[in-house]
Amino acid sequence: MTNTVLLTGASSGLGLAIARLLCRGVDRLILTARESSLPRLEAAGIQASERVRLRALDVTQSSQRRAVVAEAEADWGGVDVLINNAAVTYRAVVEHVNEAERLAQMDVNFLSPMHLMRLVLPGMRAKRAGRIINISSVGGMMAMPTMSIYSASKFALEGVSEALWYEVRPWGIKVTLVEPGFIHSRSFANTRYTVDGQDSMLHADDPYHAHYENMAPFIARTMMRSWATPESVARKVVRVMRAKRPPLRVGATLDAPMFSLFRRLTPQRLYNALLFRMLPNVRRWGPPSPDHS
């Protein structure tokens, strides 16, 4: 069966890996990215054709969201598979997030995927079929310091996806959260610091300077040591798309199910205490206190 697939954030990283895999199949594809990023698709060898359309989509813009869904409905009978992959990552402690930064993070990672789901669901209900795949993260099940609003956005995406799984099951619509852990890539270089976070990183006398100074290279090292790649995670996404009965949650890297198991089986106070002690150079964070011993 040939489906119409709408993929967001298709121009780089995991999105580009998914796009390349899908181009090998027979499905009709609407591959989207911000207008300035569309040339990356062509540079990667992905060309528009009768079954592949490259469309500019800033997921935060209502008019653009409606346009791509309306095009799929008019030309191809609607979206059969929605893959919400577009995302942005801000690095900041809670004190270093202003209103605009908080809204920008939530808009891309949570509100915009939710709007796209709402747009495609009427057509899926009418067909009594459809698939929604939301790319989440281990950050949506466990939070790390300096990644507060990123985790908040992914926790929110997890919550709405779980509720939706129940809501649309009567119509045969499948909802899945794909949860990657650390992926071997340089995507950490695209992480955005908030204004105050950047200032803290540059000034050693800032109370949170050690948080940033230690967490940023720790995350970078962990990612570069990971065996998982964008391509291996993309294969998981495509398998979920084709599975007859996909689960609600799919750990997309080897570490993801381990993190999940650790969280579920470890008593809460012990879990948090252990993770705190495992943070890089945590004894140097903030003022000396008994809590840091």
User: Is 136 known to be catalytic?
Assistant: yes
User: Is 154 known to be catalytic?
Assistant: yes
Q: Note whether residue 218 is domain-resident.
A: yes
Q: What is the pLDDT of residue 293?
A: 44
* CATH value at residue 120: 3.40.50.720
Please tell me the distance from the alpha carbon of residue 200 to that of residue 99, in angstroms, as a whole number.
18
Mean pLDDT for the stretch of residues 86-96: 96
Identify the active-site residue in 12, 37, 112, 154. 154
- How many domains is the chain built from? 1
CB-neighbour burial class of residue 265 (10 A; exposed 0-12, middle 13-18, buried 19+): exposed
**Is the separation of the CB atoms in 79 and 130 below 8 Å?**
yes
User: For residue 290, is pLDDT > 60?
Assistant: no
User: For residue 292, is pLDDT > 70?
Assistant: no
Q: How confident is the model at residue 227 (pLDDT cuts 50, 70, 90)?
A: confident
User: For residue 291, is pLDDT > 80?
Assistant: no
pLDDT digits (tens, 9 = 90+) for 34-83: 999 999 999 999 999 999 999 999 999 999 999 999 999 999 999 999 99
First to last CA, the chain: 60
User: Is 260 known to be catalytic?
Assistant: no
Q: What is the pLDDT of residue 289?
A: 56
Find, among 189, 195, 206, the residue nearest to 96 by Cα: 195
As a whole number of Å, the CA-based R_g of the chain is 20
Q: Note whether residue 262 is domain-resident.
A: no
Q: Note whether residue 266 is domain-resident.
A: no
Identify the active-site residue in 37, 137, 150, 208. 150
Neighbours of 100 (CB within 10 A): 10
Q: What is the pLDDT of residue 223?
A: 86
Neighbours of 283 (CB within 10 A): 11
User: Is 226 known to be catalytic?
Assistant: no
Q: What is the pLDDT of residue 200?
A: 96
Q: What is the pLDDT of residue 224?
A: 86
Whole-prediction pTM = 0.93
Label each residue of 159-225 as H, E or C: HHHHHHHHHHHHHCEEEEEEECCCCCCCHHHHCEECHHHHHHHHCCCCCCHHHHHHHHHHHHHHHHH
Identify the active-site residue in 12, 136, 151, 185. 136
pLDDT digits (tens, 9 = 90+) for 103-155: 999 999 999 999 999 999 999 999 999 999 999 999 999 999 999 999 999 99
Q: Note whether residue 44 is domain-resident.
A: yes
- For the record, the structure tokens of 79 come out as 């979206």
Q: Note whether residue 291 is domain-resident.
A: no
Q: Note whether residue 289 is domain-resident.
A: no
- DSSP symbol at 54: E
pLDDT digits (tens, 9 = 90+) for 236-287: 999 999 999 999 999 999 889 999 999 999 999 999 999 999 999 999 998 7
Mean pLDDT for the stretch of residues 163-181: 97
Domain range for 177 is 4-255
Q: Note whether residue 81 is domain-resident.
A: yes
Q: Note whether residue 283 is domain-resident.
A: no
